[in-house]
Amino acid sequence: MAQGPRVIAALDVGNQRVLALIAELSESDEMVIRGVGLAPASGMRSGQVVQMKPVAAAIKAAAEEAELMAKLPAEKVIASVAGIFVSGRLTRAAISMGAREREVTMADLETLHDALRRQPLPAGHTVLNVLSPSYALDDQDGLLDPQGMVGRQLAVDAYVLACQESPVRTLEKAINEAGLEVEEFLFAPVAAANATLTADERRLGAILIDIGYGTTSYAAYSGDKLLASGCFPIGGNKINDDLVHRFQTTAAGAEKAKREAGTMLLGDVGEEETIAVPTIEGRGSHVISRRELCKTIRLRMQETFELIAAEVWRQIPQDAPCTGVVLSGGGAHLEGLAALAEEVFVKRARLGELEGVPDATHLLASSELPARSPAVGVGLLVQGRSLLLPSVVPLVRERRRREGLWTRISRKVLAKRGGGS
């Protein structure tokens, strides 16, 4: 989060790469990206740390690159989380303010928020994020901020994201090993929605789908509220696996063929078209049908969209409007993917573009990052900005244990000595 009064740092730890961003707020509260750091990641699988040292080293490398470019420190970060260990549901909590009517105070809201966070969860789970809160005071619903209003019964409806503690705690340890402190975690598709959804889409209804290398996650909004979210352990790597098995090629060859020859628009591919891919031992090449390649890719993406559609329609109220689908993440680059989404969801679909956050580095549009890949990172910065600036509505934040001075000093010294690598 904020290092000085006007600095925000974001960390998106993916299954294939780590992206660190540093932004600065101007005097007019405009956010400008000043530093970008990118490092290849190993040690992550389906959103979970499976090897501590490589992950910590990649985080440290990305953060140092961003700091060097921005000439600003990144000590505290807003970090993304994605994995099947995160789940959400609409939740209500209520408190009584006494027998007599009185004004709602901030202390009442804090008591209400504590009651919301104490909702029963499975063993080993904790609250990750509390989003889209809406308040009720006696018989008046739909309040954004009940402070100063008079009543006796105060309630809140919100979308509560819970997660298994162990994967998030391990990721936080890797971040700490790299010399950084986590200000807040945010579910990845919620972050991507921050960067790509318009105000009208949030109000009229939209499904954000973030397609990564190891996972595909989603967040559905309607009426300015988050109504559904989730994650599947299916991403670009699954498509590569399909191609490896189907065409007996290498993983690198499958990735290259997918990027250069893959399309969802089968009508644009002739029956006679072919491409060459490496043989599975990598010592030669053989020719395969481009159309069969594209059919294999399309089948996996269609299955993924159908799984998401089934979950979204199961979770959201039947009367909640939904006007479209927005695609983000590095896996959204496939030609014709928006058309396939329209076919599956029977809704308008578009590719999520990053708008409204100036990039002084001009690196987010470079070839090193696939288009729409930085959506989560930029959305984390948007979240950090909202925490830094005065809010017109109460924020419900998970209470994190703060590090002591000695812990912070020790962490930074160890990181400088290479203790996180």
Contact 420, 177 (CB under 8 A): yes
144 within some domain: yes
> What pLDDT is recorded for position 388?
85
Return the pLDDT at 241: 97
Burial code (b: 16+ CB inside 10 Å, e: under 16) for 126-157 equals ebbbbbbbbbbbeeeeebeebeeeebeebbbb
In a domain, 96, yes or no: yes
Pairing mode of beta strands 44-45, 31-40: unpaired
Sign (positive or negative) of CA dihedral 243, 244, 247, 253 = positive
Residue 388 parent element (H or E):
helix 375-388
pLDDT digits (tens, 9 = 90+) for 91-115: 999 999 998 999 999 999 999 999 9
**CA geometry: angle at 262 spanning 257 and 235, to 5°?**
85
- Max Cα distance, the chain (Å): 82
Q: Cβ(329)–Cβ(350) under 8 Å? A: no
Higher-scoring residue by pLDDT: 119, 396: 119
Residues 6+ apart with CB under 8 A from 107: none
pLDDT digits (tens, 9 = 90+) for 355-396: 778 888 888 877 777 767 899 999 999 999 998 887 656 777
Three-state SS at 29: coil
Q: 327 vs 406, which has greater pLDDT? A: 327
Assess if residue 29 is contained within a domain: no
Which residue matches tokens 């812990």? 407
* The predicted structure's pLDDT at residue 413: 54
Kindly give the pairing relationship between strand 153-164 and strand 181-187.
Answer: unpaired
Confidence of residue 405 (pLDDT cuts 50, 70, 90): very low
Q: Confidence band (pLDDT; 50, 70, 90) for 406?
A: very low
Pick from 100, 91, 18: which is nearest to 59 by CA?
18
So what's the pLDDT on residue 143?
Answer: 93
Cα 203 from chain centroid (whole Å): 20
The CATH number given to whatever domain includes residue 125 is 3.30.1490.110
Closest CA to 15 of 373, 338, 314, 411: 373
Would 151 be classed as within a structural domain?
yes
Domain that holds residue 126: 86-162
| Mean model confidence pLDDT for the chain | 91
Question: Looking at the domain assignment, is residue 92 inside a domain?
Answer: yes
pLDDT of residue 411: 53
Residue 105 lies in a domain: yes
Our count of domains for the chain comes to 1
* pLDDT at 3 (0 to 100): 47
Q: Which of 139-148, 194-203, 262-271, 370-379 has the lowest mean pLDDT?
A: 370-379
Q: What is the pLDDT of residue 403?
A: 54
Nearest to 277 by CA among 301, 291, 293, 297: 293
Range from 3-12, 172-181, 227-236 carrying the lowest mean pLDDT: 3-12
Specify the pLDDT at position 17.
93
- Is 102 a domain residue? yes
pLDDT per residue over 332-360, tens digit each?
Answer: 989 999 999 999 999 999 999 887 788 88
The answer to whether residue 135 sits within a structural domain is: yes
The yes-or-no verdict on residue 8 having pLDDT over 60 is: yes
The three-class DSSP label of residue 257 is helix
3, 73 Cβ separation under 8 angstroms:
yes
